[in-house]
Structure 1
């Protein structure tokens, strides 16, 4: 048999070459292993050091190993949080020439823990709730990408602390399937399986005394399904708003942001009567808005500023007569974006007194004006307009704290 290391990065085979591939994984010598918490797996899994990297090595048959490797690569390309696939090693044999199972190699996710390690000390119910929220978000992201997991569970997930919350990462894609779009039946199957698996895993913790006495495993399994349903509905429902109620769109975007999702773009189209706007959000990776705003307008802003500016740009474009997505005769987004900069962004910023523009950069000023308009619209329950909001903002403006007043003058 000939040892073969299949990897997309040419550096990875060299990195992995010195590992003891002629030894069954469960008998690898300690000198190659790294002591890290491991979750429960149907396969033999070990953490090993390969050069400066720590990798997870999992033994399984060749076809599922190659299939999971490709699925993990696809998920990585579409921005799904998961482990990074490095290689598949086939053609292994021991010193007597007897064949050994192939292995799948993934990069260890720094700072992550399997769920059982997180329950070494009894976890409070509120903390567990955040853990379940993270898993629900991961499941929604997978389904939006067209991925049917087929085995959603705490055991197949790694968790990493993210400030006061948690982020969940897929660690096992062996049973998954990628589709262009999932049916309601496929999603329901995944959700039901998650509910049963999670309830069972929490029952195991309960039996070992590692579960908080106030936690009901069945209830928690049901709760994650309800959380998933809320997220899915908020992300996929189509909303129709009157044109003069643009602050409703702002409110919807805020809810999505609060749920942990960014909005890549808004599919906005006016109704036949020209008096309604249909809004369907799309989800994106971090930093998308900053790149998108720079590409469309040439404005360089922070991510939160860019998100807010792009949302106003999208709403404004929907009101333009020559905005026709998909119509070759309609104005291109870049054309409309530069018109928005020329007719909306710059005049609005320049309407703010120089005293204020010396304190804040242009993107921050416009962001604050939009926030102020949203506040006024919410109070009045109708769109007050940007000009009115600007006048009120200027009339009530107060200098920021001295340590924040260091931005360059806005243009």
Structure 2
């Protein structure tokens, strides 16, 4: 990088003297380049190649990435940057900086959210007119806004999974003390997660972090979620984009029930007799099944020593993700990780039950995971992320074996999955979407649902 050293990390930087001009869009005026200030969490100098001297709505098509956009009160565009895709949002300087720093803090707390990259201020047009500052975030690969998660109509079970994912995200945010203030499906991105969905916060401009949230703050966030989701579902209902039999108001209530059940399981007190101490481990197992690890319990006994009161004090999400990463180095969503771990355990039991767990896990990666991923034709590799492909393949193989009453070999199942399922899915890594957010084409096959943890053959 030519010119004086730039302070990229959380320091506003004036690039006016660096001689770096946008390529492919004409030369930006010196005044526009000279006024630009960037607060950035990345050292990617190609940020300077983008046409910051143009309003977002006037950006050249050559810069833009054709990806689905959710509903937003701001102008948002997706653009190419160093082989990846970024989201650029025009807003005020105060809002952009607040959201940038809030997202960075949430990332440090390991909360599912988009990655903040930069805030740019001091933007000017060729004639010197001021332009709105922008917030730049990295696009979450294989994620989609909720309106893009259907082909013709949004089915009830898909909608239920979306709302459950939203409730889990809200619980995770509240556990770390984050008050969202604008909870909605529109402010969330969703990734497929082994028959369910994983939700990621994408808009934090109204959010605030506290040491701990009061019950009133949590309930107010929950009420905002209920009202916003009801409105979003009414909009879809009027457009004929959800099944007629779905009641938007009744369906929006699901987030209240889902949230409260999960919150009670994670934080609620439990009392039992001293002789029922096995319930401590039972509680841990239930939390693990929900994807949470327990770091500490608060246990109190009654004065006469006849009963115990138990309450989880600290819980961390990502139990199965961490185990999979530790055993194999694979990074996956929570439900995907649970499914892959189940297959890994079945593989070990069927092939090498006496082998060390870690060694068996690496054999599974070499003999199951990697061959499946390598077998996917290049033109289909953008359909789904690898962990989701392997999960769906394992389900497909299980159903084939059950249907044909035989152990279908892995290679045969892979070819069947590619030909009969994967080829007919739309490309979720780079999905073209019309401005009305309604995709064209035939309905996609759905492999939702999870078979038993064990399958005919783990190999």
Q: Normalising by the residue count of structure 2, what TM-score does the alignment of the two structures yield?
A: 0.62
Correspondence 1:6 to 2:6: no
Alignment check: 8 A CA contact 2:41 2:116 kept = no
Distance 2:146 2:319 in 1: 29
Q: What is the Cα-based RMSD across aligned positions, in Å?
A: 2.9
Q: CA deviation at 1:51?
A: 1.1
* Pick aligned residue for 2:164 from 130, 133, 136: 133
Q: CA deviation at 1:178?
A: 0.9
Distance 1:121 1:362 in 2: 45
Alignment check: 8 A CA contact 1:264 1:288 kept = no
Query: What is the DSSP-based 3-state SS (H/G/I as helix, E as strand, rest coil) of the residue aligned with 2:318?
Result: coil
Residue equivalent to 1:163: 194
Residue equivalent to 1:359: 354
Correspondence 1:180 to 2:175: no
Residue equivalent to 1:114: 145
Alignment check: 8 A CA contact 1:290 1:302 kept = no
Residue equivalent to 2:252: 221
Q: CA deviation at 1:15?
A: 3.1
Distance 1:267 1:363 in 2: 29
Distance 1:103 1:40 in 2: 17
* Pick aligned residue for 1:197 from 228, 232, 249: 228
Matches within 5 A, 1:11-410: 11-12=43-44, 14-258=45-289, 260-271=290-301, 276-281=307-312, 282-286=314-318, 359=354, 361=356
Query: What is the DSSP-based 3-state SS (H/G/I as helix, E as strand, rest coil) of the residue aligned with 1:6?
Result: strand
Distance 2:111 2:72 in 1: 22
Distance 2:278 2:358 in 1: 20
Distance 1:132 1:234 in 2: 18
Distance 2:114 2:222 in 1: 22
- Distance change in 2, residues 1:247/1:362 (3 Å): farther
Distance 1:302 1:97 in 2: 51
Distance 1:250 1:119 in 2: 40
Alignment check: 8 A CA contact 1:55 1:107 kept = yes
Whose radius of gyration is greater, 1 or 2? 1
Alignment check: 8 A CA contact 1:290 1:301 kept = no
Distance 2:358 2:141 in 1: 35
* Deviation digits for residues 156-202 of structure 1 (CA, Å, limit 9, x no counterpart): 01111001110011000011111111111111111111111101100
Distance 1:404 1:216 in 2: 42
Structure 2: unaligned runs, 5 residues or longer: 1-33, 331-351, 360-453
- Distance change in 2, residues 1:29/1:129 (3 Å): same
Q: CA deviation at 1:56?
A: 0.3
Q: CA deviation at 1:215?
A: 0.9
Structure 1: unaligned runs, 5 residues or longer: 295-299, 304-356, 365-399, 406-411
Residue equivalent to 1:393: none
Alignment check: 8 A CA contact 1:267 1:278 kept = no
